[in-house]
Amino acid sequence: MNTLSYSLVIPAHNEELYIAQTLQSVVNQTVLPTKVVVIDDHSTDETAQLVKIFVEKYSFIELLQIQSGAEHLPGSKVIQAFNKGLPLLQNNFDILVKLDADLILPTNYFETIIQHFLADKTVGMAGGFAYIEKNNEWILENLTDKTHIRGAFKAYRKACFEQIGGLQPEMGWDTADELIARFYGWKIVTNENLHIKHLKPTGANYNQAARYKQGEAFYRLGYGWVLTSIAGLKLAFKKNKPLLFIDYLKGYWKAKQNHKPKLVTPEQEQFIRSYRWKKIKEKFF
């Protein structure tokens, strides 16, 4: 086989300002998808109407409208919507893509992603880097970790996606998926030449309750107190909001006290801690 097919699921909630640009960048790809499913989750704007314009023009695009809760907590709402779209793909893909509805992709994006999967059968996920507009220039988004693929545009090899058990509708899903994939021996590939325009700031619609969710995610990923402190401090400064560090620690302790279920098995938790410490040592030593 000299090529691989790919399908996309695009969760959308009140994305009338961006969804048309995202879909236009998809239909402009040098290699077109087998299927695109847009999940319009409880939108109260013109999102669905804009998607329908593309549905009428392109046979591979489909719209599903659902009515979930209006509360927008990180992780849960978007992945619940994503999971609703999976059955509509009818398992007809080699590569599965979870794509946000506020992105503009370069025209060769998926052609390049497919090449990464073809080049190495142990590549489980692949993606580019997010850029945001600032002072009329597109600059690398400051949350970028060059060994991590942002949840906004993740491409999964089918076998990898199935082995990690799909995506969990919880804060931290887009870290859990990569760590569990590494546990099973899959490689994560990022391509710094693929610049994705991210039109809306990360977390722009998150409500006040979301501020503790990151700390909870650290606990549920099995980081432990010291790793949580290191990761929380790094993330708070990346966001230019140092006081978020305190919220992360509070979220961690609340999750621990409430015995929140872990997102990983004990074996995976042990692997994650070893992997994280290894990366820290590599960076400093």
pLDDT tens digits, one per residue of 14-47: 999 999 999 999 999 999 999 999 999 989 999 9
Same structural domain, 136 and 72: yes
Torsion angle in degrees (nearest 10) through CA of 234, 198, 157, 81 = 100
Same domain assignment for residues 149 and 264: no
Beta bridge mates, 21: none
H or E element, residue 229: helix 224-238
CB 41 within 8 A of CB 68: yes
Q: Could you say which of 198, 230, 252 is where a domain stops?
A: 198
- Residue 53 confidence (pLDDT) above 60: yes
Same domain, 219 and 124: no
Where among 198, 233, 254 does a domain terminate?
198
241: nearest Cα among 270, 269, 210, 265: 210
State pLDDT tens for residues 205-247: 455 567 788 999 999 999 999 999 999 998 888 888 888 899 9
Q: Is residue 37 part of a domain?
A: yes
Question: Into how many domains does the chain fold?
Answer: 2
**pLDDT averaged over the chain?**
92
Q: Which residue pairs, CB below 8 angstroms and at least 24 apart, start in 261-268? A: 261/220, 262/220, 262/221, 262/222, 263/168, 263/170, 263/172, 263/173, 263/176, 263/217, 263/220, 263/221, 264/176, 264/179, 264/180, 264/220, 264/221, 264/222, 267/183, 268/179, 268/180, 268/183, 268/222
251 in the same domain as 217:
yes
**Contact partners, residue 126, CB within 8 Å, separation at least 6:** 113, 116, 117, 149, 155, 188, 189, 190, 191
- 62-105 per-position pLDDT tens digit: 999 998 765 556 678 899 999 999 999 999 999 999 999 999 99
pLDDT of residue 143: 76
User: Do residues 244 and 189 both lie within one domain?
Assistant: no
**Domain identity same for 43 and 110:** yes
- Within this chain, do residues 39 and 172 fall inside the same structural domain, yes or no? yes
pLDDT > 90 in the chain, percent: 78
Computed on alpha carbons and rounded to an integer, the radius of gyration of the chain in Å comes to 19
Whole-number pLDDT of residue 29? 98
Q: Mean pLDDT over residues 45-72, rounded?
A: 91
Give yes or no: residues 179 and 92 share one domain: yes
Domain boundary at 146, 168, 198, which? Answer: 198
Do residues 98 and 225 share a domain?
Answer: no
Same domain for 241 and 267, yes or no, is: yes
Work out the average pLDDT over 167-196.
96
Range of the domain at 101: 6-198
Map residue 137 onto helix, strand or coil. Answer: strand
Residue 203 included in any domain: no
Q: What is the pLDDT of residue 74?
A: 67
Q: What is the pLDDT of residue 200?
A: 87
pTM of the model: 0.92
93: three-class secondary structure by DSSP: coil
Amino acid at 120: D
